[in-house]
Chain A
Amino acid sequence: MIKTEWTKSKAFYDEYFRNPNPDKKSTHYCPGCGHGNVHKFMAEALEDFGVIDQSIIISPVGCSVFAYYYFDTGNIQAAHGRAAAVATGIKRAHPHSIVISYQGDGDLAAIGTAELIHTANRGENITVIFINNAIYGMTGGQMAPTTLLGQKTTTSPRGRDAANEGSPIRVCELLNTLDAPVYLERVSIHDVKSRAKARMAVRKAIKNQIDGKGYSMVEVLSPCPSGWKMDPVDSLKWIEEEMMKVFPLGVLRDRSNEIQPRKIEKHYPTREEIKEQLGLNELKDKLYPQTQQQQYKNPAIKAAGFGGQGILLLGIGLAQAGMMEGYNVSWIPSYGPEMRGGTANCHVHISDKIVGSPVVSYPSILVAMNRPSLEKFEKDVIPGGVIIYDSSLIDVKPSRNDVEIMEIPATKMADELGNTRIANMVILGALVGYTAILNKNTLIDTLPYIITRQRLIEINKKAVENGFDFGANKALKGCPQN
């Protein structure tokens, strides 16, 4: 059938109901803005290929931030510059959707350069529409990375100078040095012929994605009459006379005929497979009756010490054992950038209720494995709580007198077992032995899950047992309060 009408595409909403402006029929773009033209090319292509309902358009930050007002597709508005990264995630989670990352030059070529380059380098099967108008339009005409030499903007009032601001970035040429992109073309919309080419380029970039070919990007030289302070018709002339000298039009790369389409194979695991992969079938038999005493119920635990003491592993052990007993648990680490020697602490919740926040600001149980940790965190322990500290490393006593205090020479005990690095396991055992928040057998069964080296499990088990006995003993005798 021959096409006899050119009207608004069905990929646009009938009325732009999201637009707070009372006028629901026209866009928010300035008169003569190139965004509208490109929107129309995209919408037409999506409609013609019949993929409106499976398309997801990622709006950037810039004037086109409101692209979701207009497109009756899936829409996500990404943080500034992150459209390519968001598009990657969406495409990988929904490989059958058509993901279009629509970005301006401030978004794509300035703040989003890293995302742009790595997305292109991975050859993600997405379509990128890059609107190059050589200026920051939305914020009032500041200099963009694509601003031409000599062009006056509010932040380059004497004209862009290569010595001071660098030269304009040619994004297509930049990406053309990478292996993965399939299709790169620079087009313009300054006259009838160029618009027809731009329209075909947008179609091709979307078709490539539908066919599973890979990364396609179309750079569109687009007028910004407001930013350039020009008449809309004059701004088209400026594209032709000035911009195209710096940004030559043309296909920089088109490998869409050579590339074999990628097959999308997605395996959805069944319930049983998930259980098996998580080891839940085994765990089922290992649930123990809950043993928490009222006094120590639903503990909020903070463990702190030097990095390298195994503080985080101690916390993981608690959380894992709690999980195996059927509690709701959370564990978050907090540590400095050093692998060893810095400070480290972790927060653990073991609760029969839903854990709201994993952060433990006011612990009911504090484990301190060095002096700075004890001094820093002891004031936060809730009244009636427990402080457990390694007395072989800490030569001061806690100053609190409204909490239970258990001192344990953990490092010394670990040394007697043959390795000071299992002091954390001694404390783990002592904590559980003293408070009885978890079953000893659970704790022992947890070890193979958290310790990766099989040969170390035995010594860790011993440390936990020794610690447990120590803690349980202390609990029987009762701890002296300060």
Chain B
Amino acid sequence: MSKHILENHLTIIQPEICKGCGLCIAACPQNVLKFHEKFNTKGYHYAYYVGEGCTGCNVCFYACPEPEAVAVYKKGHVFPENQEVILK
């Protein structure tokens, strides 16, 4: 696996950590986060990033109360070789 340089801003929400409170969705200025129609194992409709339109503003990161549920990466971020990231 080689280094990967991010081409677009990216928000990743961990479905199993999300509690479906919706604060990120309410806060997102671009309206690119939505509740998923599926449940996670805790029984919450988790939030997810629709795939395009993120500006990397990190508002959702600070809106989310869970330390690990939301991660935001700006365009040009270089992922280290060993980091596995689901890239859409």
Contact = CB atoms under 8 A, between A and B. Distances in A.
Contact of B66 (A4, A26, A225, A232): A26
Interface in A169-225: 191-192, 195-196, 199, 225
A5 B64 contact: no
B23 A25 contact: no
B44 to A, nearest CB: 7
Interface in B28-84: 29, 42, 44, 56, 58-59, 61-78
Interface stretch (A7-15, A135-143, A271-279): A7-15
Nearest to A8: B68
A31 B62 contact: no
A251 interface: no
Nearest to A38: B65
B71 A7 contact: yes
A8 B71 contact: yes
Contact of B65 (A4, A5, A34, A192): A34
Contacts of A199: 62
A286 B65 CA distance: 66
Contact of B16 (A25, A70, A231): A25
Nearest to B72: A6
A23 B43 CA distance: 14
Contact of A39 (B19, B21, B67, B75): B67
Contact of B74 (A4, A23, A225, A233): A4
A36 B64 contact: yes
B58 to A, nearest CB: 5
A192 B63 contact: yes
Chain A interface size range: 35 or more
A440 interface: no
B23 A4 contact: no
B62 A5 contact: no
Nearest to B58: A6
A236 B65 CA distance: 13
A29 interface: yes
B67 A5 contact: no
Contacts of A23: 16, 42
Given A7-B71, A25-B17, A27-B66, A191 B23 contact: no
Contacts of A6: 58, 61, 70-73
A435 to B, nearest CB: 66
Contacts of B74: 2-5
Contact of B76 (A4, A12, A30, A34): A4
Contacts of A31: 19-21, 44
Nearest to B16: A25
Contacts of B65: 27, 29, 32-37, 39-40
Nearest to A15: B68
Contacts of A232: 21-23
A323 to B, nearest CB: 53
Contacts of B22: 32, 231-233
A5 B72 contact: yes
Q: Which 4 A-B pairs have the closest CB atoms?
A: A36-B65, A32-B21, A31-B21, A31-B19
Given A32-B19, A32-B22, 13 more contacts: A4-B56, A5-B72, A5-B73, A6-B61, A6-B73, A7-B71, A9-B67, A25-B68, A27-B65, A32-B65, A36-B64, A37-B65, A40-B67
